[in-house]
């Protein structure tokens, strides 16, 4: 029986359904969307002073060489990315791989949010260029 953790955020109830570490898939769902995470590599825990933490109410340490594959959306809008963190000289390097065979890579040593925003910016620019060519 999977563990179900429920959190309430601004009238929006979210659930995390998992049997991790027995099964490497974690389903996160709320009233509006579903995300599926597959832990690809668990990573190594370094000294606590070096490790970055997850955001939100429950903060978890993020180990070195940690990698997850995340999927969201449906049918034609379905997207899958790989997110990883590696510590270089004691600082986290956040990386998102996406596209065909995860050939597109964006990384940042500032934060995971910075790298996620970079992916959005890159894809927005590519879409604009694509539509300009169509016109």
Return d(Cα 30, Cα 91) in angstroms, integer.
Answer: 32
Q: From start to end of 10-123, where are the E strands? A: 12-18, 25-29, 34-41, 52-53, 61-62, 66-72, 79-88, 91-98, 104-108
pLDDT for the residue 106: 93
Token pair, residue 119, equals: 């992916």
Contact indicator for 59, 44 with CB cutoff of 8 Å: no
pLDDT, position 33: 78
Asked whether residue 21 carries a pLDDT value surpassing 60, the answer given is yes
Give, as one character, the DSSP assignment of residue 49: T
Cα–Cα distance measured from residue 85 to residue 34, given in angstroms and rounded to the nearest whole number: 23
Query: What's 102's DSSP letter?
Result: G
- Residue ranges covered by each domain of the chain: 3-134
Q: What is the pLDDT of residues 83-110, one digit of tens each?
A: 999 999 888 999 999 988 999 999 999 9
Architecture of the domain defined by 3-134? 2-Layer Sandwich (3.30)
Model pTM above 0.75: no
């Amino acid at each position: 029986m999977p563990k179900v953790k429920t959190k309430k955020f601004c009238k929006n109830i979210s659930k995390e359904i998992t049997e991790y570490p027995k099964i490497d898939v974690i389903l996160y769902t709320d009233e509006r969307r579903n995300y599926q995470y597959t832990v690809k590599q668990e990573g190594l825990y370094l000294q606590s002073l070096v490790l970055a933490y997850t955001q939100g109410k429950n903060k978890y340490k993020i180990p070195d060489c940690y990698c997850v594959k995340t999927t969201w959306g449906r049918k034609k809008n379905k997207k899958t990315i790989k997110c990883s963190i590696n510590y270089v000289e004691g600082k986290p390097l956040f990386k998102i791989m996406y596209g065909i065979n995860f050939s597109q890579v964006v990384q940042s040593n500032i934060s995971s949010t910075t790298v996620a925003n970079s992916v959005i910016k890159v894809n927005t620019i590519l879409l604009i260029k694509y539509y300009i060519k169509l016109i």
